[in-house]
């Protein structure tokens, strides 16, 4: 049995009528799919048909957004990894303020505080690690030196993400990076 396609099966007036009917059917389907309830648009249903208002729902007061932080042991890595490619695709530079973290998104800025001497440094996550169990972060040599961990090799720290809504934290980060701050003019 020979098959003919839709295009060649119908010719002349019969083919154009069929195309018109198909187009009309498609328009009708599209309009019915976009209709909400069948009532003409712009008119409200009679008052007797209005649905009763939904019952009032009691909601609990919204809880404050949880503030993420982490406390644990930090270590540092330096000359052995100098120049190697990080998980972020850049070359590791032990003289930059960077760190390796297991799960935080690459590019995240953290405030790291040494809990022994209360020194603080801002570092950017650009690598995955630490490899050793019990460690929460691997700092670059520069970050470890800033925090006073370079001599001991490890230390107890707290990690806290830099919040864009906290101006004090943002200004401290800019001061560490030694970037010019553009403040609005005082009036």
> Could you tell me the domains of the chain?
70-177 (2.40.40.10)
The structure tokens 């648009």 sit at 41
Percent of the chain having pLDDT more than 70? 59
Q: Which residues pair with 114 in a beta bridge?
A: 157
Contact 157, 71 (CB under 8 A): yes
Kindly report the average pLDDT of the chain as a whole number.
77
The structure tokens 């009532």 sit at 39
| Strand ranges (E), the chain | 70-77, 98-100, 109-114, 120-127, 135-140, 154-161
Let me know the angle formed at the C-alpha of 168 by 137 and 66, rounded to the nearest 5 degrees: 60
At 104 the pLDDT is: 94
* Greatest mean pLDDT among 96-105, 127-136, 156-165: 96-105
- Higher-pLDDT residue of 187 and 95 is 95
Model confidence at 57, pLDDT cuts 50, 70, 90, reads very low
pLDDT per residue over 18-37, tens digit each? 666 666 556 655 555 555 55
| Cα 28 from Cα 124, distance rounded (Å) | 57
**pTM score over 0.75:** no
pLDDT per residue over 153-186, tens digit each? 899 999 999 877 777 777 777 777 765 556 666 6
């Amino acid at each position: 049995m020979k098959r003919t396609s839709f295009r060649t099966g119908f010719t002349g007036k019969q083919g154009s009528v069929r195309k018109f009917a198909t187009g009309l059917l498609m328009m009708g389907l599209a309009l019915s799919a976009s209709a909400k309830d069948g009532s003409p648009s712009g008119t409200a249903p009679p008052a007797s048909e209005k649905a009763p208002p939904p019952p009032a729902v009691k909601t609990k007061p919204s809880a404050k957004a949880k503030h993420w932080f982490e406390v644990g042991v930090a270590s540092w890595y330096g000359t052995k990894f100098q120049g190697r490619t990080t998980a972020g695709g850049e070359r590791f530079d032990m003289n930059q303020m960077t760190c390796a973290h297991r799960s935080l998104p690459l590019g995240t800025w953290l405030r790291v505080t040494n809990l022994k001497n209360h020194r603080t440094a801002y570092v950017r996550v650009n690598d995955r690690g630490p490899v050793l169990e019990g460690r929460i972060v691997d700092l670059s040599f520069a970050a470890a030196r800033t925090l006073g961990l370079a001599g001991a090799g490890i230390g107890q720290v707290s990690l806290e993400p830099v919040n864009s809504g906290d101006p004090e934290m943002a200004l401290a980060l800019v001061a560490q990076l030694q970037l010019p701050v553009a403040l609005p003019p005082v009036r």
